[in-house]
Chains A and B, each alone.
Chain A
Amino acid sequence: MKKPSNLWRSITLGLAVLAGLIVYAYGFQVTKVSLEETRSPRRQTQLIRIIRAIAQPDILEYQKQEFEVNAPIYVPCPSGDLNLPEPDRSGPYMVITPPCADPHAEINVEGFNFEPNTEGPIFFIPPSDVRLQMGNIQTDSSGHFTVTVTLPKRPSEELQHVLVITRRNVGAPYFTQTAKDTWDKIIETVFLALLATTIGTALAIPVSFFAARNLMRDVRSPLASISLSILAWPAGLLIGVQATRLVTNFSHMLTDNVALSVGGLFAGFLVAWFPARWALPQAEIQRPSTLMRLARLLALLIAAFSTILFLILFSNLIVSLGNVLAAHLSIFGFVGTFVSDLGEILSMVVVLIAAAAGGGALSSTAGRIGQFLNMRVSGATNRIISLILAGLAGATMLAIIGAVINWLYQIDNPIKTLWIPAGVGAVLGVILSSRAKEADTLPVGLSIYFIVRTILNSLRSIEPLIMVIVFAVWVGIGPFAGVLALSLHTIAALSKLYSEQVESILSGPLEAVTATGATRLQTIIYAVVPQIVPPYISFTMYRWDINVRMSTIIGFAGGGGIGFLLQQNINLLNYRAASAQMVAIAIVVASMDYLSSKMRERVV
Chain B
Amino acid sequence: MLTVNNLTKIYDGNVLALDDVSFQAKDGEFLAIIGLSGSGKSTLLRCINRLIEPTSGQILWDGRDITAASSEELRTIRRKIGMVFQHFNLVHRSSVLTNVLAGRLGYVNPAMSLINRFPKEDIDKAIKQLERVGIADKAHQRADELSGGQQQRVGVARALIQDPEIILADEPVASLDPVLAHSIMRYLELINKEDGVTVLCSLHFLDLVHRYAHRVVALNEGKLVFEGLPEEIDDDMFKEIYGQEAERVG
Q: Does B72 lie within 8 Å of A522, measured CB to CB?
A: no
A519 close to B (CB within 8 Å):
yes
Q: Please determine whether A518 and B70 come into contact, CB atoms closer than 8 angstroms.
A: no
Known A371-B70, A522-B113, A525-B113: A517·B87 in contact at CB below 8 Å: no
Which stretch of A468-476, A484-492, A507-515, A546-554 is in the interface?
A: A507-515
How near does chain B come to A465, taking the closest CB pair, in angstroms?
38
B246 CB within 8 Å of chain A? no
Stretch of A59-67, A277-285, A407-415 at the chain-chain interface: A277-285
Give, as a whole number of angstroms, the nearest-CB distance from B22 to chain A: 21
Q: Which of A281, A513, A519, A531 contacts B75 (CB 8 A)?
A: A519
For A506, what are the chain B residues with a Cβ–Cβ distance below 8 Å? 89, 92
Q: Is A460 an interface residue (CB 8 A)?
A: no
B150-166 Cβ-contact flags toward A at 8 Å (1 or 0): 00000100100010000
A266 within 8 A of B: no
Q: Which residues of A contact B49 (CB under 8 A)?
A: 515
Residue-wise, chain B 95-110 has the 8 Å CB interface mask toward A (1 for contact) of: 0001000111111111
Neighbouring A residues of B141 by C-beta, 8 Å: none
Among B79, B93, B121, the residue within 8 A (CB) of A516 is B79
Please determine whether A516 and B78 come into contact, CB atoms closer than 8 angstroms: yes
Minimum CB–CB distance for B94 against chain A, Å? 5
Q: Is B51 an interface residue (CB 8 A)?
A: yes
The answer to whether A518 and B105 touch across the interface, beta carbons within 8 angstroms, is yes
* Complex alpha-carbon distance, A64 and B68, angstroms: 91
- Nearest Cβ on chain A to B129's Cβ, whole angstroms: 13
Taking the closest CB of chain A, its distance from the CB of B114, in whole angstroms, is 5
Contact of A280 with B78 at beta-carbon distance under 8 Å, contacts A516-B102, A527-B91 already known: no
In the complex, chain B residues whose CB is within 8 Å of the CB of A283: 104, 107-109, 119, 121-122
- Does B179 touch A at the CB level, under 8 Å? no
Q: Does A530 contact B (CB under 8 A)?
A: yes
Cβ < 8 Å to A, chain B residues 108-124 = 108-114, 116, 119, 121-122
Candidate in A285, A372, A526 with the most chain B CB atoms within 10 angstroms: A526
A600 at the interface (CB under 8 A from B): no
| A511-B85, A515-B78 given; A525·B106 CB < 8 A | no
Assess whether B90 is in contact with A512, with CB atoms less than 8 Å apart. yes
Interface residue? A533 (CB, 8 A): yes
A526 near B108 with CB under 8 A, answer no
Q: Are B89 and A517 in contact (CB under 8 A)?
A: no
Q: Are A517 and B122 interface neighbours, CB within 8 A? A: no
Residues of chain A with a CB closer than 8 A to B158's CB: 512, 516
The residues of A that contact B112 with a CB separation of less than 8 Å are 280, 282
Give the residue name and chain of the A residue nearest to B72 (CB).
Answer: A368
Indicate if the CB atoms of A530 and B93 lie closer than 8 Å: yes
A residues less than 8 Å from B85 (CB atoms): 508, 511-512
Residues of A close to B51: CB separation below 8 A: 511, 514-515
CA distance A515 to B107 in the complex (A): 13
Let me know if B200 is at the binding interface, CB within 8 A.
no
Q: Which of A57-87 contact B (CB under 8 A)?
A: none
* Other-chain contact of B106, A511, A512, A518 (Cβ < 8 Å): A518
A521 at interface by CB-CB < 8 Å: yes
A533→B93 contact, CB < 8 A: yes
1/0 per residue, CB under 8 A from B, across A270-298: the answer is 00000000001111110100000000000
Q: In the complex, which residues of chain A have a beta carbon less than 8 angstroms from the beta carbon of B155?
A: 512
Task: Tell me whether B37 is interfacial, beta carbon within 8 Å.
Answer: no
Decide if A573 is an interface residue (CB 8 Å cutoff).
no
Which of A281, A516, A530 has its CB near the most chain B CB atoms (within 10 A)? Answer: A516
Q: Say whether A375 faces chain B, with CB atoms less than 8 Å apart.
A: yes
Chain A neighbourhood of B82, CB < 8 A: 516
Q: How far apart are the CA atoms of A515 and B52 in the complex, in Å?
A: 11
Does B201 sit at the interface, judged by CB under 8 A? no
Nearest chain A CB to B117's CB is how many angstroms away? 8
Judge whether A531 and B83 touch: CB under 8 Å: no
Q: How far does the Cβ of B89 sit from chain A's closest Cβ, in whole Å? A: 4
In the complex, which residue of chain A has the Cβ closest to the Cβ of B84? Answer: A512
Bound: A225/B248 CA distance, A: 54
Tell whether B14 is near chain A: CB-to-CB under 8 Å.
no
Q: Which residues of B contact A (CB under 8 A)?
A: 49, 51, 68, 70-72, 74-83, 85, 87-94, 98, 102-114, 116, 119, 121-122, 155, 158, 162, 168
A-B contacts besides A516-B79, A516-B162, A517-B80, 6 pairs, CB < 8 Å:
A284-B108, A287-B76, A508-B87, A516-B78, A521-B110, A530-B94
- Pairs of residues from A and B, 10 with the lowest C-beta to C-beta distance, nearest first: A517-B106, A517-B79, A508-B89, A518-B105, A517-B78, A512-B89, A515-B83, A530-B93, A517-B75, A509-B91
Q: What are 11 A-B residue pairs whose CB atoms fall within 8 Å in the complex?
A: A282-B109, A371-B70, A508-B87, A511-B89, A512-B102, A514-B51, A515-B49, A516-B103, A517-B80, A530-B92, A530-B93
